[in-house]
Amino acid sequence: MPDGWRKMWVLVFYDLPVAGPNERRAARKFHEFLVRQGFDRVHYSIYNRFCGSMERANTYERRVEKAVPKRGYVCLLKLTDRQMANMRRWIKGGYDPHESAQFTPPEQYRLF
């Protein structure tokens, strides 16, 4: 199997209720969990993480499943590296979403 089909990405999409203080706390804890696990923000309530293999992607799937709050909607999608390479992004008007979010590249991309 070609290498691009073995390497995996995990995307997490979520919509959590924040009507009361307990729900806001649960939503914040879930967001902090994703950041601690090495997920990067793609868009508001959409995070991704490079996993390298299906086994590692399954590990993160189990971790996310355990961290899902009692109320809300969380969706997890696994994509191959080759599928992820087909993603197209359009950023116009000088807007850079990572600039305001203080984007830091994931560990596996840091060479020095």
Binding-site entries? 15
Of the candidates 98, 100, 1, 6, the residue with the CA atom closest to the CA atom of residue 51? 6
Where does 7-108 have alpha helices with state H? 21-36, 54-67, 81-85, 97-100
Annotated binding site for Mg(2+): 15
